[in-house]
Structure formats: structure tokens, C-alpha cells
Amino acid sequence: MRNITFAAGVVVAAALCVSCGETGTPVSPTTTTQPAVAGDNGTQPGGAPAAGADTAAAPVGLTGVIRGLNLRTGMFSLVSRTGTRTILTDAETQVWRSGTRVRLSALSDGQAISVRGFDHQRYVLARTISIR
């Protein structure tokens, strides 16, 4: 799965270089130091978070209910008593139900979950998601 994600990232990077007229070699996603963040117009971040992004963010634990789940992009909103946060998942995210690891597709809107991950201010990069 990591190889597929890496290959997809390289293809996207190459496409971006071609579209902007750059003729040099595209930078590998594994060497990118900037994490994906939401745009100024309020759109949610897209694409895979940058490798090494965990080291620049504080660990966080959240509990709430899933809203607006998009399994294709691995993003959703987590609604809790303290507010709503954008949650991003990637190939490193593990999903657990009753002590058993399950696929990301086991998540659905309205489910109560706990998320442990890294707070990047505009989003949380999930490392473990526990279905409650």
C-alpha cells in the first residue's frame, strides 16, 4: 500500500511540474517538509500529508462523532463538545474496533470515535482511530 501511495505521489508531483512549465526533476513526496493545510478560501486540504510532518506537530487526542466522511480522500470532520476539527488519514493511520484492526471503510457518518494523532492547527493527522 505504501508503494502505491508513493508512486501516486510521484505521478502527481511530475504532473504538477509539467503543468507549471518546470523542466527539472520533480521532488519526491518523501522529501517534502511542508504539511498540507487548508486553503485561505476555507477549502479542506487535499492530497497526502508530507512525510515527517508528525515531528513538527503536537500530539493530540480527540473524541467525537464523524461528519462528512470522504473515504476517497481519507478526510472527515470530527464534531465534539469543544468544536469541529478536520481529520486527515493516510497510509499510516490505523483503525480499531473492539481491539481488532479494521479497514478505514469501517468508518461511517454518525459513528462515535476517538482519534489520536498530531495537531497541525488547521487539521489533525490521525495515527489511530478507535470506533467506540
What does the chain come to in residues? 132
Q: Are residues 124 and 72 in the same domain?
A: yes
For 49-84, how does the pLDDT look when each residue is reduced to its tens digit (9 = 90+)?
555 555 679 999 999 999 999 999 999 999 999 999
Q: How far apart are CA 11 and CA 114, in angstroms?
A: 33
**11 within a domain of the structure (yes/no):** yes
Residues forming a β-bridge with 92 = none
Q: What domain count does the chain have? A: 2
Q: Look at 26 and 51; give whichever has higher pLDDT.
A: 51
Q: Are residues 59 and 27 in the same domain?
A: no
Q: Are residues 66 and 27 in the same domain?
A: no
**39 within a domain of the structure (yes/no):** no
Q: Are residues 64 and 127 in the same domain?
A: yes
Q: Are residues 9 and 64 in the same domain?
A: no
pLDDT at 101: 97
Percent of the chain with pLDDT over 70: 58
CATH of the domain at 102: 2.40.50.320
Check if the beta carbon of residue 21 is closer than 8 Å to that of residue 44.
Answer: no
Task: Show the domain range for 99.
Answer: 53-131
